[in-house]
Structures are given as structure tokens and as C-alpha cells.
A = this chain, B = another copy of it.
Amino acid sequence: MSGLKRLIPILDRVLVQKTVAPTATAGGVLLPESAVQKINSATVVAVGPGRRSSTGELVPMSVKEGDKVLLPDYGGTTVKLEDKEFHIYRDDELLGVLTE
């Protein structure tokens, strides 16, 4: 299976990869569930050019590649690209950008 390597989202769609919660990584110790926000956070992998306004112009996107974003509880479409799981959201569905 040669390379269908990249997905360029259409309009205002955002391709994200969910942050994997580190359950029992370093040394096998099980981590507590207090890291709840990790499950709903993701890294933006690719963004579309933006949706069209009612007058037909491109509306700028709220996020960019590499952003850590907070996902809504519901929604999004699961897609598989080369056996890795990604999710597609519309720019408007994302709740916020997480910064340090």
C-alpha cells in the first residue's frame, strides 16, 4: 500500500490526533484519573483553508497546525490514515487552544 500520506481538510475542517493519556507509562505505575483533560485534548495535524462566509469569502481559521486544542464532548468524525486514528472537526466545534 503506497502512500496516501496526507489529508488536506476541506473548507473549515481540522484534522487532529488525540493526545494519548499516559496511563502507567514510566515504570508501570498506574496514573490516577486526575489527568482528565488529556482525553479531550488533541494536536492539530492539518487545517483546511476556511469556510466561506455568506458572501462567499474565506473566513480565517481559529487554529493552525501544531496547536493543542480542547475538543468538545461530542461530534467529530473518526478517520484512519495508514492505520493511525485521526479525528476531523469543524473549526467552530473546537472549544479552545491550550497553551503553557
A34 to B81, CA, bound (A): 10
The total of chain A residues at the interface (CB under 8 A) is 53
- Interfacial chain B residues near A2, Cβ < 8 Å: 100
Chain A stretch 17-59: residues in CB contact (< 8 A) with chain B: 34-37, 40-41, 46, 48-49, 52-59
The chain B residue sitting closest to A3, CB to CB, is B100
CB distance from A62 to the nearest CB of B (A): 5
Identical chains in the assembly: 7
21 A-B pairs with CB atoms under 8 Å apart are: A4-B37, A4-B68, A4-B100, A5-B99, A5-B100, A6-B98, A7-B70, A7-B98, A10-B63, A10-B94, A10-B96, A10-B97, A11-B62, A13-B95, A34-B83, A36-B80, A37-B79, A55-B57, A70-B79, A77-B95, A88-B96
